[in-house]
Structure 1
Amino acid sequence: MMTIVVSVLFARSTRSTFPSDGSTSSLITHYLAGAAIASGVIVTPPAVLALTTYVLAPSLRHLFERLLLYPLFGAAALVFLFLAVTTWKPGPGTPTSNMDTAASLVNAAAASALATSGIIVTTTGILASNFWLTLYFDARRCHPYDHIVLFLLGTAAHIRRERHRWHDDNQVTIWRASLEVVAVQVERDAPLSGRTGLAEGSAYMELRQEARRIAAVIRSHKRDLAEAYSAHDVDAVVASLVVGLRAFCVGDRTALLAHAPAEVAPRVGRFARTALRLIPATVLIVAGILLPLVPSIAHSELASNLRWYLIVMGTITFITTREDLATKIGEAVAKVLLK
């Protein structure tokens, strides 16, 4: 990867030369502009994705670094490949006398953008590889519940250390979010899917249901923290978490299930709910864009109306969860656009 990046950067940098009129300041400005534009294009989508997930799915906040690093690498790679195969030329309105200068400035901006994206590709690639290898080798050396133990230990220690802030609403909210992270980790690791495999359906389903029951015990402490009226109440929650921590350390599922509810329904998080609403809305909007392009439909007088109808229905589907309301609005729009 490093060799490819350096080779491409060297090949492209030879196209950028100083303008003959000596406008070095303009050249530097274009170098900086190219780097800034490339950085903005690369960083914005991964940042939006990571922040959206951070807000919609608090239980995935511990994955924030991964949600930012991997998309950043992908975006930088796409921008790098695009710049590597694209040749930039001055605009058609550029005077012939200034063509060489304009070409030098354009190539300077392109070379700077290419160099910036190449640096980001190399850096994030090294970080992502190191991150993945660390997780891989740690997983090979870990016991089945080690990750749960680490999350639970950190959460219990944090709550114990800050128990005097039981009256601080923001602090209690942070505690509750940390417990949700632990519960999600339990649902992920406690089914022992790496040992049973998805093909062994009955055993996997039984272990997954047990994992949900154990996670429900973890989540039950969220209410205890919300109702805490003294530091002593917080200490009681910490003591209960420590008992669970010891059970995880020795792999005692019987102790972990002792106070668990008999049955727990699968949970659907905010992120999953948003995705379930986003998928049909996206399908409708894409259909509204593409269907009118079909030749048999494009020649119809209602092609434009069909496009707007599907786009409006896609937007309504995402905004509201009430099917009756969406149906009524859809019927009203259809009467106006498709009459």
Structure 2
Amino acid sequence: MNLRLAWHKLTHWEYWPYQVVYTPIYFQYLYYALRTRSFFYFNASNPTIRNGGFFMESKKEIYDLIPEAYYPKTVLIKSGTSLEEVNDVIIKNKIEFPFITKPDIGLRGTAVKKIDTEEDLINYTSKANFDFLIQEFISYPNEIGLFYVKLPNQINGKITGIVSKEFLIIKGNGKNSIKELLLKDPRYEFQLGVLQKEYGDKLNQILPENESLNLVPYGNHCRGTKFIDFSHYITPRLEETFTQICNQINGFYYGRMDIMFDSFEKLEEGKNFQIVEINGAISEPTHIYDPNHSLLFGWKELIRHFHYLYKISKHNKKNGATYLSFKDGVSELKKHNQFYNRILKF
């Protein structure tokens, strides 16, 4: 990493390792672990999701909890499935190019790809040594992450934060290559190594003036997406709409929904949107990563949300949910680490 990028990373806390950012949360977690007498109390936060959605949860199993009208057509492909069988599934479910592929057990956007052609699909299936999903590509122009919490003893939930996602999109000037345009923005330059592997010589092409190119068509911070705090769009109407929606998702009380949608006006009405993904107990209130927010703001929001996680887990425990035992929790962590090491080789 060159000096300019190193300095940018040092002076922008959104790029710091999560182990550093989460320093105060470790103490908060230990306090709650003592109060609940469980290191894995968060398992009870979303009782219908494996481990509450903290690790090793299946995305497909979460989609199966959501009414079909609210999420894009999604199919599970088991590891080892032949290309011919994959194509049969695609045809049977009437999924057309382009579409999105992603691991059934996700890790911060690793191995998420937009598949435009049969060749892309061949490359993906030949490399994937894990179960993965094929998901219909959604063409709505906007994407947000909407954080929702609901105490089990209350009728209404609340939206605690909204993050808007500014994709890695570059605009041509008729002079510079795609690579040269990427080098003008540190946020994009961080992604250069990954993009070179994915696009190869295409990065040397010169984009015509005013032509835009979306190099990463999904909103993931570690893939160059800029997160912008849109929490000012939270309204009583929007909270009412998503309380109605989330009440239809059995056992979901805490997490962030990644949503593609047309406009906030239609979203308030519960129209013209799709839930691309739901993240459970592991969810971050990602609006904190807006570059305009301080680290102190980030800590306050993390502490606030971690307190919700604790309260919801306690309420669900009283209602019959169980905390994961220490032995089973350690076993799940080992599985998580093994899977993590495997998927990083993708």
Same fold (TM over 0.5): no
Where is the helix percentage greater, Structure 1 or Structure 2?
1
Larger Rg: 1
So what's the TM-score if we normalise by structure 2? 0.26
Where is the strand percentage greater, Structure 1 or Structure 2?
2
Identify the structure with bigger relative contact order (alpha carbons < 8 Å, sequence gap 6+).
2
So what's the TM-score if we normalise by structure 1? 0.26
